[in-house]
Structure 1
Amino acid sequence: MLRLLLHSYGQFDRRHTIAPVAWPHFDLLHVHAGRLRLRVGDTPEFFLKSGESVLIFPHTPFSGGAAGDGRVRASVQHFALEEPVDSENAVLRAWAGRKQGFALLAGPNANSVDRDVARAMELATRPANAVNTALRAAQLTLLLGRFLQAAPSRPPPETSSAESLHQIMTWARTRGGVVTVGEMARRAGYSAAHFRLLFTAAFNERPAAFLLRLRMNEAQRLLRETRGTIKEIAGKTGYADAVAFHRAFVRRTGRTPANYRRQFAPRG
């Protein structure tokens, strides 16, 4: 059974913070304007910008506040999912029983969600009766379905997400960046889409850009410190051939691999 609780809207700045708190119900937090910093559970701090949402599961600690000196306008919808859950409602069944975790609706996946949240807020202002309650429940179910479509969520891995992300970065570094985003996501225990959102929010860099940076750093090291051919270095940094490596290196550094070696490799 979906039980609707509070639905509120407000504005705050850096003087106002979300104190560390964990509620026994779901929190659907949506940013209407500004930029909100959040820390949920053990994950690194991340940011939500205008038009983005986070669904925080019951008993999950979180805290946050306005990012920088700006003001934030946000709304929050509290609700509970209690047994028995409608067996024919696949959306509610998917979220029932979730604890200690969260899901994000951000980036391109959040397109037009502002309109859905505005509709939910408008319904919350109507008189409490059976019809309006049913409409509110249907609108919230629609929003929960958007989360499922965007990034199917799951409870956190056995280690904290923060530890997992840093451990995976270290693992990628030891391999010179010659891994895939999919491999990183599997090690973290998330879908690739959800992992991209978490990684980008935590480190302000897309995982693909992080891997490219590692590969280019390794390529520069090999050009400076070894006598390997361009083709050999291309293979060691994950490129199928020297042509693809040459193009990527020029885009990244503004120099050809051969010019870089001539300029920076020790003489003698």
Structure 2
Amino acid sequence: MPTLRDREHSWNDYPVLPYVRLCYRFVSPPFFQGERRLLDYLFLYLEKGRYALTVEGVDYELNEGDFALIQPGLPFTTRGYGDCVVPNAHLDFFYNPAREQSFVTTPGQTNLEPYRQLLQPRLNDFPDVRIPVLLQAQPPRPFKDTLLRMMEHFKHNDIGSALKVQQHALELLGLLLGSGGTGGSGASFAFEGQQFVQKMNAFLSFSLSAPLSVEAMAKHAGYSESHFTTVFAQHFGTTPHQYLLQLRLQKAQELLGTTALKLTQIADYCGFASDAHLSKAFKRQLGVSPREFRASPPHRR
């Protein structure tokens, strides 16, 4: 089967928003489940018994107290010896607008091509992330407690329980990236960077029309001004002021091209001190004046 992957993933391409599809305590006498591939993630904990996994042709044996993570798209089989008790969760870590159409695959279901649009990106396809099937959970208690709390809240249908389930799924992802056998600080840095980028983009877009200092940006991010400037440059590739100017000019272009607002109004909405200030910045960055931009055909903008 094709890999269904074209390139290494970027954290900025996939918003983190967990969705727990199934979370329960699997109890079974000795069993074997044939090969299948998952659209989502399967996180499991062996509470009792002995459990064997074969993932991509590699055999793994879980003893009581062990954890495993099976990532989307990988061929695997499972076998239980004795009476097995396996708390587990099937979940998405990344947002997909069609997530409610996704499902837990069954043994024999190995061709995921018809469901490509539902397939979650694998964590191991992100830079600096290497999470093994058999997790090195040290210490193991946070993994166990997070899964069991998530399982308990999953039993209920109220909004409070649903929020708790999502919270615990986020905690689980943090544990996987922070310990659990990943690439370590690089993966954690990338995940934290995604949160920083999303947080700042939302704040800057909301505050576009207001005077905004680096000090105010840093305060919102929870950093000192000097540290904020360094972190911002790492994740945005420019200074806070330059990035804010880019956002303001982008919004000005949108308003010029889609509304009949006067230039003074657009300048006010986009955080420029005056229409002259807007015109000067616009001309310097784009090579044309706002009026010339508005008069040009859409395909030439």
Q: Please identify the structure whose Cα radius of gyration is greater.
A: 2
Normalization by structure 2: what TM-score?
A: 0.41
Normalization by structure 1: what TM-score?
A: 0.46
